[in-house]
A and B are shown apart, each in its own frame.
Chain A
Amino acid sequence: MPILEARSLSRTYRLGKVDVPVLRDLSLSVAEGEWLAILGASGSGKSTLLHLLGGLDRPDRNRSNPQAGVYFDGAPLAGKSRRDLDRHRARDFGFVFQFYHLLPELTALQNVTVASMVRLGLGYAGRSREVRKVAEELLDRFGLSGRLGHRPAELSGGERQRVAIARALVNEPRVLLADEPTGNLDRATGQGILDTISDLHRDKRQTIVMVTHDPYVADRADRALRLVDGVLADNREESAPMTPVLQG
């Protein structure tokens, strides 16, 4: 059973009086331990897809197909309450964004532990030591042991993205959802970030869904899909993993 599955997903945004379809009847599935890359130009709807998969956004209601929606471990996200979705995001998903999205007032370490605070609520009080240790280990693994007390403004782009990845991983999520994680970095730094993600995938069998516009980035994944105008352009690759789509 796939860990994450999208069935006939559609998402329309309303811009003034015009409905703009972003995703149209899109289906895909992600196996546990798989690294899936979704390749698409800007505006193709890839970020929206990631938000839908992670329960940050809800798809359009599909009247003709009641089965449409996102499934996690075989269970539909659609029926879940807001609170359950919040818990789901805290526990099962880790988001990494192109622009790092760190909280500027917090230190690197606090930016990581804040995700645990959100997940544990008041229970954090009794486990802060343990969480801190996990966070420190993560940051140490990413070569940031000397940067724990630094604010985001005092970190380089690559360091910030590593902090963001550590934050996404601190709750040991089932799926890491990465939105152009290297999009804002120079190539060498981006390669470093990809190496980090690659190690994670190899060592921990971390399931990863990554959207990118960069074929070289998609190259590193187990499998790549191409998203054009809200539709997966070519589904042939689904049966042939490890064959990256290189043609632009």
Chain B
Amino acid sequence: MYQALLTRRYLTSKLMPLLAALAVVLCTAMVLVVWSVMGGFLGMLLDTGRLLVGDVEITRPVTGMPYYEELIERLEADPEIKAATATVEGLALMGLEDGRTMAVKVIGVDGKGYDAVTGYGDTLWWRHLDQPNKKDVSREDLRLQLEPGYEDAGLMLTENNPFTGEPVAAAVPGIEATGETSRQTGGWYQSAYTEGLGVTLRRSESGDRWVMQSDGREYVIDKLPFTIDQSITLSMLPISGRGAAIDVQVRKIPIANEFRTGLYEVDQGIVLVRMDLVQEMLKLDRAVRVADSFSSGVTTNDDGSESFAEPEIIGEEPARATSVLIKGAPGVTDQRVKERCVAIYAQFFEAHPFEVPSPGQVRIDKWDERPSVAHLIGAVKTETSLVLALFGFISLTAVFLVFAIFWAMVSEKTKDIGILRSVGASRSGVGMIFISYGLVIGLVGAVLGVALAFLIVHNINPIHEWIGQVTGRYVWDPKVYYFTVIPNKVVLWQAALILVGGAVFSVLGSILPAAKAANMDPVRALRFE
């Protein structure tokens, strides 16, 4: 009882312990803010990293897997698998209309199937928008001008040839890939050529042309000055099973749309193209095999006449896919889906021995095991724990601060300790004064610190905006951190852990001073001047 009374009295009459509480406030707030932002960043990365890849992937690069349609059927027959789709991957040089060239990864996909597995449809950027986003006060977002329908072409990766009206295979590059649009801090994209020039674009009355407005003058243009009305030229190099290049395949492909996952690596380096076209370019499409012995196109018949010989067809090479992406049924863990895929692939191999790659020749990875994703996520995970460890270390100073302040207080309160012992207080009772004092300081500090962290994290985007305006420097550059907003959620269990941690640290700091107080000889304490 007297411990409670004295703790309260010491707390309200001394400045030093309040400084200790303040240190606890700052340390807990700091750690929780860092944890929330970095953890939130990692969470966003994990969410978006999952886009376009499905849950599990079966891969056989370069030479691919034949009979993939049958594999997909087998996979989709499993109740624990929701959908599966094939893709063909290869590297390409992408040429733009203005002559720039860059290396990209081309993924041939079947739009609808790909959407069913990866949610690809939702990542298509150019689509009609009714309302601008909150930051777009001047309605600069071009999507507000677009009529509905753009996303359909993107989903099917097919566009109608403007001259013949025939549907042709189209491409959907990642939105950062061509560099013809640039992201605005508000989160939308603007033509890189007109950015900052105060140019606005709108549809012409007839609907088939664009009106560009600048300095009060209007220009009517046929095509948008950037990506979605243009074409790209893809050069791909089919590779033989032995790794030798065969011959370069070049196609000019219209751009149907652009996709945006929010993950810069993906949005900058990947171009999606309709699968049959990529198979054809990489020579992975269906082909007939002819007899090797066939040497000349002309044979002399018995009657002396000559005729063109038909090559002897000895077999047919089925089309191939380099990957099959799988999405698990709701509630099934990725690990379980992977196990099912391994089992199903083994059955598939048994059905086609030596025609399809053996189970040892294919990789079956969960999405986060894919080398490219695992690398990025691993890096962010490491960074998060590194920063947390650093700040945790810094927070240890709070322990020493409490320790130092309490040690001084025990010295200052030596006489009080002697007095309490003389009226019968036990050693442990006296020690408990300082332990409970440390606990109260830790709890008060941690509660205030967590509250402060909640305030900061909750308002981190406005705060960041404000700092940017004042200093002219935006710390969270969307171009570096992939995302346009800073994560602003505090995870409750993390807050609770830090609250408990703050209290525990303070108690730790008070243990030695408390022991010193408990072990004090009451007679000496009373004589202490």
Residue ranges of A at the interface with B (Cβ–Cβ < 8 Å): 48, 51, 54, 56-57, 82-83, 86-91, 95, 97, 101-106, 110, 114-115, 117-122, 124-125, 167, 171
Contacts and interface: CB of A to CB of B under 8 A. Distances in A.
Contacts of A106: 5-6, 9
A88 B522 CA distance: 15
A119 B429 CA distance: 11
A90 B1 contact: no
A48 B416 CA distance: 19
Instruction: Give the size range of B's interface with the partner.
Output: 20 to 34
A87 to B, nearest CB: 7
Contacts of B419: 101-103
A118 B418 contact: no
B420 interface: yes
Contacts of B421: 56, 86, 89
Given A110-B5, A114-B5, A118-B429, A101 B424 contact: no
7 contacts: A87-B424, A101-B526, A103-B6, A114-B420, A118-B424, A119-B423, A121-B1
Residue with the highest number of chain A CB atoms closer than 10 Å, among B2, B13, B421, B425: B2
B408 to A, nearest CB: 16
B522 A118 contact: no
Given A117-B1, A124-B1, A82 B423 contact: no
Contact of B423 (A83, A89, A121): A89
Interface of B: 1-2, 5-6, 9-10, 13, 415-416, 418-427, 429, 522-523, 526
A95 B515 CA distance: 25
Given A114-B2, A124-B1, A119 B424 contact: yes
A48 B523 CA distance: 9
Contacts of B418: 101
Given A101-B418, A101-B419, A56 B522 contact: yes
A104 B421 CA distance: 16
Contacts of B416: 103-104
A101 B318 CA distance: 100
Contacts of A56: 421-422, 522-523, 526
Nearest to A170: B423
A91 B522 CA distance: 17
Contacts of B9: 105-106, 110
Nearest to B415: A101
Nearest to B3: A117
A161 B459 CA distance: 57
B247 to A, nearest CB: 91
Contacts of A122: 1
Contacts of B423: 89-90, 95, 114-115, 118-119, 167, 171
A95 B423 CA distance: 7
